[in-house]
Amino acid sequence: MSGISKLASGSRVAIVGGGIAGAGLAASLLFNGRARGVALDVRVYAGGTEERTAPPALLTPECRSRLAALGCRIPPEWRTHELRGVEIISQGERELLPCAPGGLWVVDGWPQGEGGLDLVRQVLSTAASSQGARFVNRNVERVERQAPAPDAPTAVRNAGPLVVRAQGSGERFHAVALAAGAGPLLGDAFFKGFRPAPSMPAVQARLKGAMVGRELMPVARLWVSPLPAVDALFLIPGAGSVYALAFGAAVTPADLCQVLMMAARDGLLEEGFEVAALETTRLPYGPGRTLVAPGQLVVGPAAFGHPLQVGLSETLASCSRAAVALLDGSLDAPSLERRYVRDGLGELMEDAAAGARAVSWLRRAGKRAPAAFVAARAKHTLGGVYGGGVLGLSAPTPLSLLAAARWAGVREVVGSWLRTPMEPVPTMVPEVEPDLYYVVDDDADTREALTLLLESTGARVVSFADELALFCAVARRPPTAILLDVVLHWVDGLRLCEGLKQHPLTRDTRVLVMSGLNRPHVRQRALDAGAEAFLPKPVNPDRLLCQLTGRVPEPVDNTPAVARPASVGPFGEDRYAS
């Protein structure tokens, strides 16, 4: 590489990704370079789209030590919020994994300020900038390998053959590192044959009003396999909100919202929460392959990781090991592979693979999953050299959890062959309130018209513009029946009907599904979901009342007609008829 085999004074290094991994690598390179008497020119390029949901950061003692070693000043306010533990939930079983005092800090400033990961990134960026790193607000499109022309000026020849193309510009560097997270990556545009860490779809959200009248949750929660499409749900308390993260191979925003409704119904989350921010993302799901090329390497979640790895220890460890590999080892691919991947990341990559495999076994373990965490923690009380436990704890390690989860999964599968499934009976089922009806529709005119129609018969009506409160309301105060629209804001009514019918507290509630999509397949899906009847819109009031009460009431003159569309009410009447 233009006469250099490792980074020397004057070498130029580009880092693609301005997040925690990018800023951490920049700080590690400059800190270690200065200790070796090597002055580097480090540029950090933006890593793509920013996440708006702004997750909190969980800092272990090992994380805080690594940050301090890089010259990061820990703000005193970061000490104000500590977790007492992590609660594991699966099929009604719960176990609490306690944290040592001061063991796990939740760093967060959302919604008044920024999320915890943003705050940690700012501290790392400040430390890197103070040592000479330059942050470039341009997204990288590709990295090219070009040999300089023989007659090029000496300065150009010494700049190296790696060219970073970023929004129309092109600059030469001796080494390039990718630290762009587990989302969309450069792929072959970084180097030919690059295979990053596999990733899994996830949905994250911020919940406001989830702790009204109470202090912040003292524990984080991990709910294993709450829905078929959701491998697990995280609930992590922040500064003024709760951060929710659901992941699974087919997870959708509607899945997350439905699981949040279930969590509130089961007391895992405060009732009356509001989804203030929601977006899709991706989580690393194991170790990557082909992580190095001549003068190029990958750090952070783009290189390895698993969904139960909620701390930053592993990411910061990969940054320090990448810096040492670039400074002390050769820049050719075999040397980087040996120094960085095999010798540096070996233990981390092994843990990433074990953590990813453990998730699937935890799903199979069912109600034995919480006990598997306890058994794994008792077997191994200490994490690895980098503090590599799962869930931000020092123990259990991913390897010990995989062994315990596999054993629990096998026992659960074998046990299911030998026993008759028995559903737990709720300790107390509230009585149905006669003449109480729930109307769930995001259209205000429809809610008002249905409410007035039912109230004209002497019934009491509670209408819902936001379906997120429905599960809690039905479980606490069962109505005579629910009028449920199909098209809602967060979760479609067919899924909600199915969810109501699957829970022992709400399965006997009568549900009537309404929809303007009067198609045979929609009708059949509603009946298959457990609906008592399917009512096409505009709803026929006589048919509705007959279905609910078994009798057709006398016409009511003061029943208002509400436009849908401009001249037709929700019951099909002409608004302007004389």
- Condensed to tens digits (0 to 9), the pLDDT of residues 295-318 reads 999 999 999 999 999 889 899 999
- The whole-number pLDDT of residue 563 equals 40
- State the DSSP code for 195: B
Quick: pLDDT tens for 528-577.
999 999 999 889 999 999 998 876 555 555 555 444 444 444 555 443 33
As a whole number of Å, the CA-based R_g of the chain is: 28
* One-letter amino acid of 23: A
* One-letter amino acid of 156: V
Using 50, 70 and 90 to split pLDDT, how confident is the model at 46? confident
Q: What percent of the chain has pLDDT over 90?
A: 63
- The whole-number pLDDT of residue 486 equals 94
Q: Evaluate the CA torsion angle 163, 321, 67, 54 in order and state its sign.
A: positive
Mean pLDDT of 213-242: 86
Burial 524-562 (b: 16+ CB within 10 A, else e): ebbeebbbbbbbbbbbebeebbeebeeeeeeeeeebebb
Using 50, 70 and 90 to split pLDDT, how confident is the model at 169? confident
Q: Name the phi and psi angles at 387, rounded to 5.
A: 75, 35
Using 50, 70 and 90 to split pLDDT, how confident is the model at 578? very low
Nearest to 55 by CA among 182, 229, 140, 177: 182
Parallel/antiparallel/unpaired status of strands 219-227 and 230-237: antiparallel
Distance between CA atoms of 371 and 106, rounded to whole angstroms?
A: 25
- The whole-number pLDDT of residue 13 equals 96
Mean pLDDT value across the chain: 86
Nearest to 44 by CA among 57, 32, 28: 28
Distance between CA atoms of 154 and 109, rounded to whole angstroms?
A: 49
Work out the burial of residue 369: count CB atoms within 10 Å of its CB; fewer than 13 is exposed, 13-18 middle, 19 or more buried: buried
Parallel/antiparallel/unpaired status of strands 274-284 and 242-247: unpaired
Quick: pLDDT tens for 131-148.
999 999 998 999 998 766
- The whole-number pLDDT of residue 426 equals 59
DSSP 270-317: -TT-EEEEEEEEEEE-S--B--EETTEEE-GGGT---TT--BSHHHHH
Beta-carbon contacts of residue 483 (< 8 Å; ≥ 6 apart): 437, 438, 439, 440, 441, 450, 512, 514, 535, 544
**pLDDT higher than 80, residue 34:** yes
Beta-carbon contacts of residue 213 (< 8 Å; ≥ 6 apart): none
- SS3 sequence, 392-425? CCCCCCHHHHHHHHHHHHHHHHHHHHHCCCCCCC
Q: Which two tokens stand for residue 485?
A: 């629209």
> Which domains occur in the chain, in start order?
12-355 (3.50.50.60), 366-417 (no CATH), 436-549 (3.40.50.2300)
